[in-house]
Structure 1
Amino acid sequence: MHLIDVTNTYRDLVERQLASTNSQYVKVYSLGDTSVVYSETSDKIEIVMENHKRAIKQDEVEFVIKRLIHEDTIYDITVDKSRKIISITCNK
């Protein structure tokens, strides 16, 4: 698995996110068919994973957490019923 930085492709999304929320930093990644939006505020990190074609696999969630969040950080995960959208939040 590879996280590919595709932030430049989603320029409008990044600009809207920065303008309409208190996010200070936004990155967009591709993990195959799964889109990963990483955003930071002054005190939190939020990662949203989305896949319109299929349910997101547990190993994909673990991979993203390992790559984007420090191992010793406590985080909360919210999963929709279809597992097509997953939100991960943690304090900095």
Structure 2
Amino acid sequence: MKLIDVTNSHSSLVRSQLDNTDAQQVRVYSLGNTTVIYTISPKHDEIALINKQRSITPEEINTVMEHLTAHPLDRDACELIETDKLVEISIPKK
């Protein structure tokens, strides 16, 4: 699986996130048919995986977490919310 940065193609989404949340940085990636939105905030990071055609696979979640989290990650401290075609991961900062 290849994670491709497509942030420049989603300028309105990025601008909206920066204007309406406490986000300091927003990056958008493509993982095949899955869109990944990575938001960095002072107190936590958020990763949202969205696929309109099918459910998100565990392999996609693992790939995204390995590539986007630079520091050793305590997965037990992360909050994971899964719905049919959306996964949201909240990563608290210490």
CA distance in 2, matches of 1:32, 1:90: 24
Structure 1 residue ranges without an equivalent (≥5): none
CA-to-partner distance for each residue in 1:45-91, whole Å, 9 max, x for gaps?
000000001111110001111111233333111001x2x10000111
Superposition TM-score, scaled by structure 1 size: 0.92
In the alignment, which of 73, 76, 81 is matched to residue 79 of structure 2? 76
Work out whether 1:54 is the aligned partner of 2:57: no
Give me the whole-angstrom Cα distance separating, in 1, the residues matched to 2:79 and 2:63. 15
- Which residue is equivalent to 1:28? 28
- TM-score normalised over the length of structure 2: 0.91
* Identity across matched positions, percent: 38
Q: Distance in 2 between matches of 1:42 and 1:50?
A: 24
Q: Is the partner of 2:42 in helix, strand or coil?
A: coil
Alignment match, 2:13: 13
Question: 5+ residue gaps in structure 2?
Answer: none
> RMSD of the alignment, in Å?
1.0
d(CA) in 1 for partners of 2:73 and 2:34? 25
- Give runs of ≥4 in structure 1 deviating > 2 Å: 70-74
My pick for the range that moved more, 50-59 or 68-77, is 68-77
The code of the aligned residue for 1:91 comes to: P
SS, match of residue 28 in structure 2: strand
